[in-house]
Structure 1
Amino acid sequence: MAVFTVGWGANMFASVLQVYRGSLSGFQVDALFGAYAVGLIPALLVMARVSDRLGRRRVLLAALLLCALGSAVILFSGGAFGTILAGRILVGVSAGSAFGPGTAWIKELSDTGKPAGTGAGAGAQRSAIALTAGFAVGPLLSGVVVQWLPSPQTTAYLVHIALVALTLPVVWRASESAPSAAGPTARAGHGARRGAEVMSVLTSRLFVTAVLPTAPWVFGAATVSLAVLPVLVPLGGYAAVGGGVVAAVTLGSGIAVQPFARRLARRSPAAPFRTGMASVIAGLLAAALTVTTGSLLLLLATAVVLGAAYGMLLVSGLQLAESLAGPQTISTVIATFYSLTYLGFAFPVLVQVLGKLWHPALVLITASALATTALATTLIAWPVRRTTHTAS
């Protein structure tokens, strides 16, 4: 519930930003959308370790309060760019405090009472669904608020603050899962060993060749669909709710594909990564065609493809990161994975900047070529084995 609520607050801006397009430049609007990654990435890396010491519940409660504060700052910003920027960064810090520890908490609770090796990947799927559902529902309902309700800048954020208030008692009553904090001497000894274990995971062949190159395309694919295309494709007088629908279709597709990603992973660990990156490439090429034609049907179809790519890469990346990490390092490894995925929030700004030099469709085609290199690295992670037959 906490991950869902913070995800809602993080992504509802995809619809609300339509309100600011009349008073702010396109670059400022895109920068505001991705600005929360500035607060998110450092918070991810710091709060993962804090949650190992203080427990998941305390960190998630603090994240919810900070998320509500960020929404309140934007609520009272009066449309000032600097104040909205500060609020978005606060929302980013709250997201960084919630997503890594929250994902670890969901996995730990999912594994409670289960024999080792059973239900592998269930925690990763549940975490991805909670995060993605918040990302999807937030902009969809906020789009409705912006399109048809009065004072959308006020109403949308009041709805989110109310949701935080409902979530706090649920998290307060949830079962703790993190190991209890040890004394200072024990923490010092375990800290050095934990750091070595984390570095071992982050420098392993699978992490470097499978997770590192593909992770930025998780939100790279999603943000092209929900932040770039609704701006480049005319939506008439329904820009706010239309943007919310595109976001919901994108992220809803991301949820729908996750069970399929787990089935693929059971067949071959490489399959969901390769299928996900192939979907990114196809989605970016479809996005280029959508921008060129302005077709609304093609826009929705592209949202499905890019959303499927997002969901496939998110759940498979989380599952691999969890399998590589140990109980004492899982929160930090997950935080690192999320940090890499959030590099994809730079994509809308890059398209905005490069779109002034070249046609946006050409920028998207170039991005698809870069995605091909990430697909190629999966051949290094899992080399294709050739079967040779010798005469008897």
Structure 2
Amino acid sequence: MAYAVGVAIGLLLAGPASDRYGRKTVLLPTPFFAACASLLIAFGQHSSTLMTTGRLCSGLAVGIAMTAGGAWIKELSTAPYDPFAVATSGAKRAAMALTVGFALGPAAAGFTAQFLPFEGQLPYLLHIVLSLLITPFMLALPETRVSSHRHEKGGVKKDLSIPSMKNPRFYGVVVPMAPWVFGAGFTAYAIIPPHVAHLTSYPVAFTALIALVTLGSGFGIQQFGPTIAAASRRRGPIAAMSSAVVGMGLAMTVVIYPSIILTVLCCVALGFAYGLCAYVGLAESQKIARPADMAGLVGLFYCLTYVGMLFPALLTKLSSVFSYPVMLGFGACVALATLGLVSVTAKRY
């Protein structure tokens, strides 16, 4: 819960703050928050206060990096900062950066915990070192929000307003897809592993491998995201949700017939869904938003993606009433309904 609160604060406040005060200004404290979070979690295993504070700082760092960082990447991917970038470079790079972080983090932590000593502290200590090492590189980057926005009139209410969210394409296409970013990803590496752990002698490392395959597939498909979405305004959303339908169907099959091969295929399909939903949603949000509220709209999109993280918790809660095949089958039906919805709204708007 503390992590979720931190993420929500970061997503909802950092975006509008960076729209007014600048991307670099808001983002620079993030490595410090991340390092403090890892330090508190590493040595707070027997203290609920330290653990809660650490998770809050961790969530805050993630939220700031996703919103202000994503907007900064978008703006750095335009002239004059990058004269070779194309219109889709910003969304592609931001989605890829997010995917690489979510892929390498769990994978490195899982293999470290499985095979190296001090499994409760070493992953966090490595993260502290990496967090501090990136600060000089951030200092060297230029600020991109240097217009008269700092002198605009209006208080907190104006800063937090996001006029672009009223665009019908945002709530008709982006909003339905957004929860499937983490809904697909977390189904792969939170729901599937317990059902196939008995098939391997290294369950912790195998769980890390599942995360790596899922997010690696997401990273791979994001290389083709601009090409897939460029053909028409419908193809991107349809491809993203079609992958979700296939992935959820395979997830249902895996829990009925546990298999390493089926697990890998399922993770690839759900990884494609994660990667395409993240890229398409981010690209659409950046296209819809005005410069004055781009980070705010991106932050709202990311808030909606985190709704998908509730899916595994909901399945666990309901597992005493419904079987996993039934619940995952229902998830596949919801994905199919979402596919039908976005195929219509993406054409209409």
TM-score surpassing 0.5? yes
- The 2-side partners of 1:80 and 1:370 are apart by 40
- The 1-side partners of 2:53 and 2:204 are apart by 23
- The 2-side partners of 1:342 and 1:78 are apart by 25
The answer to whether the aligner puts 1:308 opposite 2:272 as a matched pair is: yes
Runs of 4+, deviation exceeding 3 Å:
79-86, 114-118, 180-184, 189-192
Structure 1 equivalent of residue 324 of structure 2:
360
* 357 and 84 in structure 1: CA distance in 2 versus 1, 3 angstrom threshold: farther
Aligned pairs for 1:275-286 within 5 A:
275-286=239-250
Contact kept in structure 1, 2:19 and 2:294, CA below 8 Å: no
Aligned pairs for 1:167-316 within 5 A:
167-180=134-147, 186-188=152-154, 192=158, 198-199=162-163, 201-235=164-198, 236-316=200-280
Cα displacement (A) at 1:347: 1.3
- The 1-side partners of 2:306 and 2:28 are apart by 22
- Deviations 1:99-151 (Å, cap 9, x if unpaired)? 11101101101012289997111100001111110111111111111111011
Match of 2:307, SS state, is: helix
- The 1-side partners of 2:306 and 2:175 are apart by 12
TM-score normalized with structure 2 length: 0.93
Contact kept in structure 1, 2:16 and 2:160, CA below 8 Å: no
- The 1-side partners of 2:156 and 2:146 are apart by 13
The answer to whether the aligner puts 1:158 opposite 2:122 as a matched pair is: no
Contact kept in structure 1, 2:237 and 2:346, CA below 8 Å: no
Per mean C-alpha deviation after superposition, the further-off stretch among 54-63 and 99-108 is: 54-63
- Deviations 1:206-247 (Å, cap 9, x if unpaired)? 111100111000110001101221123225431211111111
Q: 2:314 aligns with which of 344, 347, 350?
A: 350
The answer to whether the aligner puts 1:335 opposite 2:299 as a matched pair is: yes
Contact kept in structure 1, 2:77 and 2:85, CA below 8 Å: no
Name structure 2 gaps, 5 residues minimum.
Answer: none
* 182 and 317 in structure 1: CA distance in 2 versus 1, 3 angstrom threshold: closer
Per mean C-alpha deviation after superposition, the further-off stretch among 363-372 and 108-117 is: 108-117
- Deviations 1:187-211 (Å, cap 9, x if unpaired)? 329984x777x33x21222111100
Over the matched positions of the two proteins, sequence identity in percent amounts to 33
Cα displacement (A) at 1:78: 2.3
Per mean C-alpha deviation after superposition, the further-off stretch among 334-343 and 259-268 is: 259-268
Cα displacement (A) at 1:317: 0.7
Match of 1:36, SS state, is: helix
The answer to whether the aligner puts 1:125 opposite 2:89 as a matched pair is: no
Q: 2:54 aligns with which of 87, 92, 102?
A: 87
Name structure 1 gaps, 5 residues minimum.
Answer: 1-30, 385-392
* 228 and 376 in structure 1: CA distance in 2 versus 1, 3 angstrom threshold: same
* 112 and 378 in structure 1: CA distance in 2 versus 1, 3 angstrom threshold: same
- The 1-side partners of 2:150 and 2:166 are apart by 30
Per mean C-alpha deviation after superposition, the further-off stretch among 47-56 and 284-293 is: 47-56
* 116 and 188 in structure 1: CA distance in 2 versus 1, 3 angstrom threshold: farther
- The 1-side partners of 2:285 and 2:192 are apart by 31
Q: 1:382 aligns with which of 334, 346, 349?
A: 346
Aligned pairs for 1:66-85 within 5 A:
66-79=33-46, 83-85=50-52
Contact kept in structure 1, 2:160 and 2:296, CA below 8 Å: no
* 79 and 346 in structure 1: CA distance in 2 versus 1, 3 angstrom threshold: farther
Cα displacement (A) at 1:284: 0.8
Over the residues paired in the alignment, what is the CA RMSD in angstroms? Answer: 2.4
The answer to whether the aligner puts 1:142 opposite 2:105 as a matched pair is: no
* 173 and 230 in structure 1: CA distance in 2 versus 1, 3 angstrom threshold: same
Aligned pairs for 1:94-133 within 5 A:
94-113=61-80, 119-133=86-100
Match of 2:77, SS state, is: helix
Per mean C-alpha deviation after superposition, the further-off stretch among 55-64 and 74-83 is: 74-83
Contact kept in structure 1, 2:11 and 2:63, CA below 8 Å: yes
Please tell me the residue identity of whatever aligns with 2:38: S
- Deviations 1:154-180 (Å, cap 9, x if unpaired)? 101000001011111111111111125
- The 2-side partners of 1:369 and 1:167 are apart by 43
- The 1-side partners of 2:61 and 2:42 are apart by 17
Match of 2:44, SS state, is: coil
Cα displacement (A) at 1:80: 5.1
The answer to whether the aligner puts 1:54 opposite 2:21 as a matched pair is: yes
Please tell me the residue identity of whatever aligns with 1:315: Y
* 240 and 115 in structure 1: CA distance in 2 versus 1, 3 angstrom threshold: closer
